Amino acid sequence: MGEMNMLKIAFIGCGAMGEAILKGILKAGLAGPEQITAGVPTQARREYLTKTYGIAAAARNEEAVKDARYVILAVKPQMARKAVTPDLCAALAPDACVVSIMGSYSLAMLKELIPDRPLVRVMPNTPLSVGMGMSALTAEEGVSDEDRRAAEAIFASCGEAVWVDESAMEAITAISGCGPGYMFVVIDALADAGVMAGLPRKLAIKLAAQTMAGSGVMALKTGLHPAELRDQVTSPGGTTIAGIKALENHAVRGAFYDAVQAVLDRSEALRK
């Protein structure tokens, strides 16, 4: 993504998710610290970002976005109207493209906030913070190929990035957005079972977490169907199939269907 170099990137808000994206951008060399600014209200956070990453940090968002080609909106959705004021919109560069990671904010809602700039909406997840994020991107029709490539490069710098129709965003939120929460429950439960089987807690957690991480990478790298990968570890009349039968008896699959449906129901209730 060489053409991104020398372009200025601004963050509005730079908490855990913003910082993860910032780390990815710097590590991938998409921009240097001197090309990045963050608009952050608290002084301690500004000092931390400047000291740790060498970027400029401003108390006023209007100052942060000056001349920025890409503006990453990384505040919590409930802070949107406080952060994105008419003054901020007026301060945006004429060629600025705004990239939002505010979970429940649709492109239409973003358009109300920022009527006259191209908009990209992204649903990332928390493993972004360790460079293993899963981000789904969607954009308005008018967004240029250049801006699409840049947005994709930013999120590919801290994991996997895919383009989707906005209509898929709710379901994506229920799978990859909330998914780390489900996975941590599985890791915790498997580690507990390890402790019950006599393993020290620290070792049990390591075994469970690395097994889950490795299984995920294996599914991605081999491209094989999960059932095929399961068959590779499940020998006839063996131990693994005995464990899987117990999971089936407890309707673990059904529990995941229900988890995803519960997220969809809850997010619909929150939208009303």
Long-range contact pairs involving 84-92 (C-beta distance under 8 Å, separation at least 24): 84/12, 84/113, 84/114, 85/61, 87/62, 88/12, 88/61, 88/62, 89/113, 89/114, 89/115, 89/116, 89/117, 90/62, 91/61, 91/62, 91/63, 91/65, 91/66, 92/65, 92/68, 92/117
Q: What does the pLDDT look like over 26-85, one tens digit per residue?
A: 999 999 999 999 999 999 999 999 999 999 999 999 999 999 999 999 999 989 999 999
Mean pLDDT, the chain, rounded, equals 94
Q: Is the whole-model pTM more than 0.85?
A: yes
Q: What does the pLDDT look like over 212-237, one tens digit per residue?
A: 999 999 999 999 999 999 999 999 99
Q: What does the pLDDT look like over 88-135, one tens digit per residue?
A: 999 999 999 999 999 889 999 999 999 999 999 999 999 999 999 999
- Relative to beta strand 9-12, strand 97-100 is unpaired
